[in-house]
Structure 1
């Protein structure tokens, strides 16, 4: 078997090999990244560069700081989403791979999205921002300001009233909830958006399969809960007292912020709770659940045109 030193000597005598080697060396030595690296590391010598030519050539052939990559999905690097950095280790030069800016942004976005749980809600709601919501209609400025104030003042465990957003159909109440959830996610705070009528239908459908309590417990304990379209559900004593009442009582005692949206104001919502589907009138129980809602949230009217009609 030919000794490796003899093989290298033979290759060095090959004119084609030497031509490729010299061209690679020229590209490396003249590359602005390498010249900057040499300026920043005074201990780097020409002989060190020549000994690590393969490493340096690998470095200059990749995207650094996302230059040359149109998107994370189109990353051309050996490790997609990771870009190389040169490091001096003794008399050697090594490559160290770190997340590129686009990868960092994508990871942060995924982390934020993981903090927002959603039940029966459109995906675009959770990605809403305050700027977008306000841009739809400036008549919402009061509600948007109240939501922004909540985000500014929120501290886990602190007694803080949430918002009861009420108004006509299509004025953007649900999107304000999404903007709040998105704002909380940026602060690392988990939240849950729940379209209440569908959730309550699921609860009633799970009475016999032993999953009802676990579903209620999950909603009870989330750091920030957002109940969308309260008052649109079919009302029964069970829904009002054993499901909603249980959730709101726990959250009231634990000082857990709870948002609501509704087409009804407080007085109309109390009437809704007072009459069951069987026609029974239960005013005392309706007032009891309204006391919990009023303890948890301050009413804010959301005004504007119905954007669903457009």
Structure 2
């Protein structure tokens, strides 16, 4: 931002500098913002303003920049996302003008949003699903057909805000593209505002990654421990993965065994609870194994509230 000193340097030399300085002083005294400042601090006289012309000029310019804000990325103020605030006090009979930098509302909102996002981790997810922000109006208006499921998710969010972590999670099932992941990201975003941590895991890629790490137990343990401890855990698109017995029993099973009765786990799937049990009962290596599939389902079925999400396929649409 151009300072008062820059303006004076750009002017011709000699007596004209004093004349221009007097003109700038007169403009400041006539400025409604300065008049408002003097009304707040009656002791602020013209001599004090003249001694602090640069501060007063900067304050008026930054105030107008903020009034016509084009967004943080285009902030012209010297300190992005901040403006100068002036105050006045009398010390030992002398009037002193002091300034301080104040964080603007847009930067406060961005910092708050950054803190919210820092509480959420994603594995193999498109970050745009978590970064674009959400509104209640958007959640309700996206598709009237899924209103019942939306109300169930919002009711769960409100209950968690009032009572803290719930003993049960949610199991969102439904056709492709009906917004199951969108609703879970919305839930994460809302509950992260309360200080809860969360993680969302895209199951097909997560399972393949775990298979490649079978011999690197340190990395596997680090990931498993994190997923055990996060407040809110979402397994996205469960049932679309190509399970093997080790991932099913020693990764997924270990996580769910730890979390049941401790912290809620959430799922999105194109399969119902009954269908997903059949999926868990079959692996490419061992074929059918109903006992192990049922064992895993015991750690899911009894710790979720089923939510059936209906509506139109929104993939490829802007909303």
- State TM-score, norm by structure 2: 0.86
**Cα RMSD for the two superposed structures:** 2.0
Q: Which of 193, 197, 207 is the aligned partner of 1:190?
A: 197
Q: Which of 125, 132, 139 is the aligned partner of 2:138?
A: 132
CA apart distance, 1:25:
0.9
CA gap of 1:309–1:61, structure 2 versus 1, over 3 A, is closer
Divergent runs of 4+, >4 A = none
Alpha-carbon displacement from aligned partner over 1:239-280 (angstroms, at most 9, x marks no partner)? 2211111101111142x1211011111111111111221353
Whether contact under 8 Å (1:64, 1:83) holds in the other structure is no
- The secondary structure found in structure 1 opposite 2:185 is helix
Q: 5 Å matches for 1:243-258? A: 243-254=251-262, 256-258=263-265
The corresponding residue for 2:119 is 115
Distance 1:173 1:62 in 2: 44
The corresponding residue for 1:223 is 231
Distance 2:64 2:193 in 1: 27
Whether contact under 8 Å (1:192, 1:225) holds in the other structure is yes
The worse-fitting range, judged by mean Cα deviation, of 257-266 and 125-134 is 125-134
Q: Which of 278, 289, 295 is the aligned partner of 2:302?
A: 295
Structure 2 gap segments, 5+ residues each: 1-13
- State TM-score, norm by structure 1: 0.88
Distance 2:133 2:265 in 1: 19
The corresponding residue for 1:72 is 72
Whether contact under 8 Å (2:167, 2:261) holds in the other structure is no
- The secondary structure found in structure 2 opposite 1:207 is coil
Alpha-carbon displacement from aligned partner over 1:196-218 (angstroms, at most 9, x marks no partner)? 12111111111223311111111
Alpha-carbon displacement from aligned partner over 1:49-86 (angstroms, at most 9, x marks no partner)? 23322321222232357113312111111112110100
Alpha-carbon displacement from aligned partner over 1:148-197 (angstroms, at most 9, x marks no partner)? 11111115864332210001111111111111112123333221111012
Q: 5 Å matches for 1:259-298? A: 259-298=266-305
The corresponding residue for 2:98 is 94
Distance 2:245 2:176 in 1: 26
Distance 2:105 2:204 in 1: 42
Q: 5 Å matches for 1:40-55? A: 40-55=40-55
The answer to whether residue 247 in structure 2 is matched with residue 239 in structure 1 is: yes
- The secondary structure found in structure 1 opposite 2:260 is helix
- The secondary structure found in structure 1 opposite 2:206 is helix
CA gap of 1:158–1:80, structure 2 versus 1, over 3 A, is closer
CA gap of 1:139–1:240, structure 2 versus 1, over 3 A, is same
Distance 1:194 1:53 in 2: 57
